[in-house]
Structure 1
């Protein structure tokens, strides 16, 4: 366990690496300490008020158990502590290669795009009319909505395969295939995105199962949202939905 004094020493080493002559302030929370760089307080002057002395500088979290340092953006320390706890809780949820792609795309544990999703649903209300959005589909849109997820290509690097786009996207929404799928398989689904292959629609049902509706056939992507995200990023063969092995 890292004591406060040990955390302060680690934080000062972190600050020294940035070659800044600022002081360091520590804020303690359950999982560790948030370190903030603080400028020396300047003498009061006439004119507009100055920003807080810690504004604009990166933060660091010193883990209470390991002493590991991670750098964070200039956010209130309470927000950083909350996000760090969410990040720790999500460890192991995705494989490291997939998590790296997600984080590069803008995902983080606790991400909430509710406002954008609500706006998207209102904007495309006519296109979505008659399609019920199950809670699991909405949760996926709220967490991953707006992300562009590259797929690993043959080189083993992201970007070599087919990109997936999770709604809300800049484009519109097509629901013809979703309606056809629901009728053919007696399994209502809701649009959650699209994929460059085809292009195809990505849809989810009330159980969280994800399907890719390609013009050539319908495919089963994964039994839940997380598994589908892994498949879409890593690529690989998918079973035909007509096999009904889902």
Structure 2
């Protein structure tokens, strides 16, 4: 409490405190308003987080306390490498992040409308839904190769990944858009595999979205191409071999 008081510069009886597994969130509690018609004398006070183990204090903007706790919670060990986790956190991701279910439903309705007159009709599949819930609205990647994860302010272009849809047992779901200079769409099959479609071709990225994110952030290329009959060719444009293991998470 003493550390929080020093950082917030308020009397102890004005400090609100919320404990969680990894520490405490503290903020200046708003005084009780006698007259609801009179605006408060201050709004938007900062919050601080005091780490339980180190005692380190970090300052936060006036976000909801539950969100600060989620953002302050360490990632599940082993899910992402440390460098990728750091990159994702800078992009706004944190463990337990979820966008509104209504946003997912609106996106599902929109992609159905886009393809209703040109089957197969797209939808948000069971494999794609948790990806959109956790990463939706974020921009992730590296300069020259970034993804904007749906739902965003632009629609996917089914023409760019039509070839992938034709050989999947079920329609794929677009989950992200590639920014220029090489626009394209990131799509997820019903089995969770991740592909990229653009006007130059179709490519296989990874066996699941988590590993696709690792490959994206680390700039791992080239990508195996996908050709007629769902055959994946593990060679680059010059015929040089591509190690198939690059598309899979390494064995622990």
Q: Distance in 2 between matches of 1:112 and 1:93?
A: 17
Structure 1 residue 115 corresponds to structure 2 residue 99: no
Q: Bigger CA drift: 91-100 or 105-114?
A: 91-100
Q: Distance in 1 between matches of 2:105 and 2:202?
A: 28
Q: Is the 8 A contact 1:212 1:220 kept in 2?
A: yes
Question: Shift of the alpha carbon at 1:67?
Answer: 2.1
1:204 pairs, out of 168, 171, 188, with: 188
Change in Cα spacing, 1:223 to 1:197, as seen in structure 2 (3 Å) is farther
Change in Cα spacing, 1:128 to 1:234, as seen in structure 2 (3 Å) is farther
1:240 pairs, out of 216, 219, 225, with: 225
Unaligned 5+ segments in structure 2 are: 227-231, 235-243, 248-252
Structure 1 residue 143 corresponds to structure 2 residue 134: yes
Per-residue CA deviation, residues 75-129 of structure 1 (Å, 9 max, x unaligned), is 4545534x257x3244553334333333333322222223222222223422244
Q: Bigger CA drift: 189-198 or 97-106?
A: 97-106
Structure 1 residue 226 corresponds to structure 2 residue 210: yes
What is the count of residue pairs matched by the alignment?
222
Unaligned 5+ segments in structure 1 are: 1-7, 152-158
Per-residue CA deviation, residues 144-164 of structure 1 (Å, 9 max, x unaligned), is 12222241xxxxxxx2x2221
Q: Distance in 2 between matches of 1:188 and 1:47?
A: 54
Change in Cα spacing, 1:25 to 1:169, as seen in structure 2 (3 Å) is closer
* Cα root mean square deviation, aligned: 3.1
For normalisation by structure 2, the TM-score amounts to 0.73
For normalisation by structure 1, the TM-score amounts to 0.74
2:68: which partner in 1? Answer: 80
